[in-house]
Structure 1
Amino acid sequence: MSLLQVQSPVYKEIKSVYRCHFQLQYLLSDETVTFRMNFSEEHDTKTVKSLIQHFESDLPEHSNVSVWRNQQNELSDICRQENSSVEPSLSSCSITQKGCAALISALRSNPSHLTELNLNYNEPGDSGMKLLSAVLNDSHCKLQKLQLRYCSIEEEGCTALILALKSNPSHLRELNLSFNKPGDSGVKQLSSLLEDQLCKLEKLHLSSCGIMQKGCAALISALRTNPSHLRELNLNGNKPGNSGVKLLSALLKDSRCKLEKLLLSDCSIGEEGCAALISAMRSNPSHLTELDLSNNKQGKSRVKLLSALLEDPLCKLEKLQLCNCSIGEKGCAALILALKSNPSHLRELNLSYNKPGDSGVKLLSALLEDPQCKLEKLQLWNCSIGEEGCAALISALR
């Protein structure tokens, strides 16, 4: 269910929206009629949500969701089998509170084998989360991955869920609550979970959860008390503010911190916060392999600091996302010159919706010609590249 085949009229409408909103570039990988429901990036919340809602209104005639609904009892029976070891992926199945209740009731009768549960893009709501909490409370529950993106969960449901995880924290490795509304109490409970020395969480996704400066500060303060397990942190579309980013910087400086993937797109990070963040990464650069600072304005001083990070031989960044960062010709040139001095690690670079100019593109072309360059994915959407720049790029790729 992670990939759904879309009929032509719906696809045309998606493409129309796609042309108008650059953030949707991640939703379509090419000109095929495939629409990926498991988004790799999270940016324009309103645009994505309205698109999903429109798409789901046409879903029954374009997918086999009805088959899933008809086989819900069969799935429940599978979950009840004592020797069953399943990882249900029910993403985008239009499951409501009633359907979730049936599934979770079945899981309660046999919780020990389930290691992964994906309910992304369904509507279990707070009542569904309360039922799921009973499963998580069970000492036999061995759940390691829990995906609840876009599940209409609000403060009460998030609080119940995280309280349950606190009672049995040692198994969970991955939690995705993106595009829900945990509220202050939910964030407070989550912070308390992260502080627990028994908590072994490695991946935490909280994109567009309405978490403001105070909530971000609480989360990051909690991670500082127990920093050695987390490998992936997604705070895209929240508002940590400079104070939250400074706390995050202190976490990154900690020698115990093993963070490999940090996503901070559309976080309204100011110059002061960005400077603190990049300075921290320079002091402990060897672990971080993916950084997303898209949709944050990178001034001249910030680009200079980022360039210094990329020049560091200890820097192991493999993926760098700088989409729509207001980087001009000089800034792009500085970044690319830095990459030329340390070219062997970077595998993916996104400079879309910036203005590298022909001089920046020529430098980029020289980077691509370097035999030490291992770049596999290069995104330059809407970069106003002229004929001369395109010719240099194509020549380098040949």
Structure 2
Amino acid sequence: ETTSKMETLHDTPIRCQDIFKPLPGQDTHIRVVVTQGVAGIGKTFSVQKFTLDWAEGLENQHVSLVVLLSFRELNLIKDERYSLLQLLRVFHPTLQTVTAEKLAVCEVVFIFDGLDESRFLLDFQNNEVVSDVTQTSSVDVLLTNLIKGNLLPSALLWITSRPAAANQIPPTCVDRVTEVRGFTDLQKEEYFRRRSSDEELCSRIISHIKASRSLHIMCHIPVFCWITATVLEHMLATDQRGELPKSLTDMYSHFLHDRSQQELMETDREVLLKLGRLAFEHLEKGNLMFYQEDLEECGLDVTEASVYSGVCTEIFKTECVLFQRKVYCFVHLSIQEFLAAVYIFHCYTNGDMETLETFLGKDDNGQSLDAFLKRVMSKSLKSNNGHLDLFVRFLHGLSLESNQRLLGGLLVQTESRAEDIQRAIKNLKEINPDQFSPFSVSPDRSINIFHCLMEMNDLSVHQDIQELSGCGLSKTHCEVVASALTSNPHLTELDLSENKLQDSEVKLLSAGLESPNCRLETLRSDLGGGFMATTKNVLLFSNMISSFFRLRFCRLSESSCASLAWALKSNPHLTELDLSHNNLQDSGVKLLSAGLESLNCRLETLRLTECQVTDEGCASLASALKSNPHLTELDLSENKLQDPGVKLLSDLVESPNCRLKTLSFIGWSQVVAVLE
């Protein structure tokens, strides 16, 4: 039930103006909301839209005060101590007349934007308790007490963050988690068509993006659409020779190359490498915002005009914040990650052993390209939050000579021997992510291996993934398969026969199957050693075009049924489902029955042979079938049914709302009872 509810809420759209309003059917007070989303996806825009609509009298007029505080400004407070009341007056001088008494009785919304940019340690376990808005303390203590509800418990809090940093807040303190997902496929096209009046140019750009899996997926991020449009418009408008970029590294290399106006000037080259050092050193620390002292540590003099040269203005920006102090950042996190990769690859090609050893530690196995990439991948897999994932992906892409040529002013071009590249590809395919971490490696860590192969133009991985019959797939392998389903619109057949898939693996595959990019038509996962013929199978979950799904002998249990029930509710294409020989029990059948009751469910055949179903499960099915006019065949053979359960379903056939034509029962000591 919990899993089903979480998935339902996860997929429920919500306007930013309604962020604190309960969903239909919910009777819960929403006090603390965390909104997650990757960098550049629109989190800050969402909170600004909420604030603007409130200020203009359009929405949420029951709220007396909206206080927007960004962590990039809060970071400037450092070790100073303030009361909550003083803090508000520092950041918003117009609130000088607000008293503690007024604050206690009015409805206040605090918005903390950019938790991932915070340089505070939020210690929810050991921080002192503060309950008075006039009591002075450090900023981190004020924050933890606000979030826990010790301080101003009537206030509403909205916190935005990248996913990796959101876990700083204990789940027990959060009432709602939302996600900004960025552009849909239609919105991607709309962006490019609105950007230019040249319809032919727009159509060529859109066609190219659709043909490239990596680019099309990344275009859900608005800033990436801008980068892509900038590069492709320039290349197509100037009739540049050569292939259009197909990988992320290729696209970002072109972007930096185009910004530099052919050859990099020596001063620009020096500035870019210093920016690369800044990007790298702070990527390791998890910092996205930089202050003057950070730039100076990397040899960047902010007063020099070279910092603001034409090369830098489109990748690095300055903002004035609290006390007119300046903060600096790259226009998008991915540009920071790309420049960090360029800097480290520059260190590798120039033999800067001191920097490499500081980053990777000493190694006596030589410095071949494949050994270097293997060590960096090992380092990234040890990260709990994946902060090096895109960095290592870019690094693998930079190993190709084509990308090195584009960055000739920054990188010493290496003679990437074919055998080194093939060894690097072989290393990626042989990696067991779990060997690098004492804990279970998250799906994103494993999936990034697949992305690195794509950056190295190794397309054989798609063929490898198609032939996985009897391979002893584990959870980690399913994570990579799920990624392939998400990113490869050309994969139409997948054979997973004779693999011991369990609930967690099915859930991972579900995520891939639900992707709008998935075009799989045939999925074989019959683990029953030939109990059913492998005829045409087609798919289950919400965005699938399929009609038949088989998960026999897959060791599924009740927890898988929540995902399956959600699929039944959301996929009108599914007409046949076989879950035979799984330990679903009555509790699992009850969850499935909820899916059968949905108006969207078009299931015609349901097979539940030997699923440990009793009369209680029959009652759930009978209730569902009264409102399901589509199911014509139900197989409950080899279950623990007694006469009452059999009679309950048999009598149902007489109901005018029931369309059952075939109802099968075969017990260990029972005779066949088939009603047609």
* TM-score (structure 2 length as normaliser): 0.27
* TM-score (structure 1 length as normaliser): 0.42
